Amino acid sequence: MKLLPVTAERELRWLGQWVMPKVLDGDHRFVLTALGARRMRLEHEERFGGGLVPLVASRLMRSMQAGFEALNQALKARAESS
């Protein structure tokens, strides 16, 4: 995993690579946007690239979807509890 440039209080990104670059890369990011006093929007995204993507994309997304949804729900619950 490689941490990509971070924008303080705005964006956190990292790049995960399977085996070697451009085979199966996952560019994962969290972006924060202020919506006013004590309100923020969190966007959570992962984009895949590399030579294996056409062969594994649908299976990969099915296997990761539940984990992404669980993470998003846990973040929401934590944010709303403070």
Per-residue pLDDT of the chain (82 residues; tens, 9 = 90+): 888 988 988 999 999 998 889 999 999 999 999 998 888 899 999 999 999 999 988 888 888 898 999 999 999 899 889 7
Distance (Å, whole) CA 54 – CA 75:
31
**Helix (H) or strand (E) segment spanning residue 49:** strand 39-49
Please count the other Cβ atoms lying within 10 Å of the Cβ belonging to residue 4: 12
How do beta strands 11-17 and 2-3 pair? antiparallel
pLDDT of residue 38: 82
Return the domain boundaries, the chain. 2-81
Q: Give me the half-sphere count of Cα atoms (radius 13 Å) on the Cβ side of residue 77.
A: 6
Distance (Å, whole) CA 42 – CA 27:
16
